[in-house]
């Protein structure tokens, strides 16, 4: 299959039946010519079954079923590898809960084409002028900024928003990233993968978004995930 010039939007899901149908419509409202790959980790709420039904009705939709909760990082990499194998120009990843609103998708793609030379990774950023968060208590805002500072110091990262999952990748450059070196499977994947992109010589840009806390469904992050993420970043820093 040759999709050269096309964009693949990837969304990792686990129990997102309340959000996914609305999200799919919103994505295609912004990017009607894109394809969408849902990577579902055997959601017991029927997310995967809904996606299969949608795929049977809309050729732009695909669903990759996995046997269980294998981690956000591995799901994101599965989407990237699909984009590489099927010849897409860009792989654009966003969360399934509307915290990354699809209205920013056109700006993400424009950002990939602007500049001389253009960037290889575009981040939907909360921490550049015009970006921000909504619905976050002070504790969560401080935690997020602390993690970003920690990642920049430990891994030598340059972007201001290293922990967000709203990103667009140039597939030609993704091919140069060594996926076998990625250690993180959970939330620390975002920071670690940026580090590997920098090592591969990727030019990284940021465009402002406002992160909106989820309204429907349940957050997957917890204290254990947060501690595991900090340890994984420390491990990656030691491996440097």
Q: Mind listing the pLDDT tens digit for each residue in 93-127?
A: 999 999 999 999 999 999 999 878 899 999 999 99
Q: Is 129 in a helix, a strand, or coil?
A: coil
Give per-residue burial for 66-96: e unless 16+ CB within 10 Å, then b.
Answer: beeebbbbbbbbbbbebbbebebbbbbbbbb
Distance CA 11, CA 3 (A): 18
- What is the band of 216 on the pLDDT scale with cuts at 50, 70, 90? low
CA dihedral 134, 206, 97, 8 (to 10 degrees): 160
Q: How confident is the model at residue 66 (pLDDT cuts 50, 70, 90)?
A: very high
Q: Which 3 state secondary structure label does DSSP give 25?
A: helix
Higher pLDDT, 42 or 225: 42
What per-residue confidence (pLDDT) applies to 43? Answer: 96
Asked if 178 and 196 touch (Cβ cutoff 8 Å), the reply is yes
Tokens of 148: 């970003």
Asked which of 59-63, 66-70, 125-129, 140-144 is least confident by mean pLDDT, the reply is: 140-144
By C-alpha distance, which of 90, 101, 133, 137 is closest to 19? 101
3-state secondary structure at position 225: helix
Closest CA to 94 of 163, 167, 31, 37: 167
């Amino acid at each position: 299959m040759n999709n050269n010039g096309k964009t693949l939007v990837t969304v990792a899901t686990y129990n997102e039946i309340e959000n996914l149908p609305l999200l799919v419509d919103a994505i295609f409202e912004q990017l009607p010519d894109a394809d969408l790959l849902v990577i579902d980790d055997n959601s017991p709420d029927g997310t995967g079954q809904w996606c299969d039904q949608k795929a049977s009705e809309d050729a732009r939709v695909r669903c990759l079923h996995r046997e269980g909760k294998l981690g956000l990082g591995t799901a994101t990499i599965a989407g990237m590898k699909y984009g590489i194998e099927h010849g897409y120009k860009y792989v654009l990843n966003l969360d399934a809960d509307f915290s990354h609103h699809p209205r920013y998708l056109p700006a993400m793609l424009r950002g990939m084409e602007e500049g001389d030379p253009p960037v290889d990774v575009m981040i939907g950023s909360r921490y550049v002028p015009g970006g921000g968060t909504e619905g976050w208590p002070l504790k969560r805002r401080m935690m997020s900024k602390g993690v970003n500072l920690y990642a920049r110091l430990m891994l030598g990262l340059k972007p201001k928003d290293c922990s967000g999952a709203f990103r667009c990748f140039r597939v030609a450059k993704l091919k140069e990233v060594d996926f076998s070196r990625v250690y993180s499977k959970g939330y620390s994947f975002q920071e670690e993968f940026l580090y590997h992109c920098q090592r591969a010589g990727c030019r990284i840009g940021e465009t402002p978004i406002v992160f909106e806390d989820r309204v429907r469904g349940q957050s997957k992050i917890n204290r254990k995930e947060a501690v595991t993420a900090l340890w994984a970043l420390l491990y990656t820093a030691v491996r440097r």
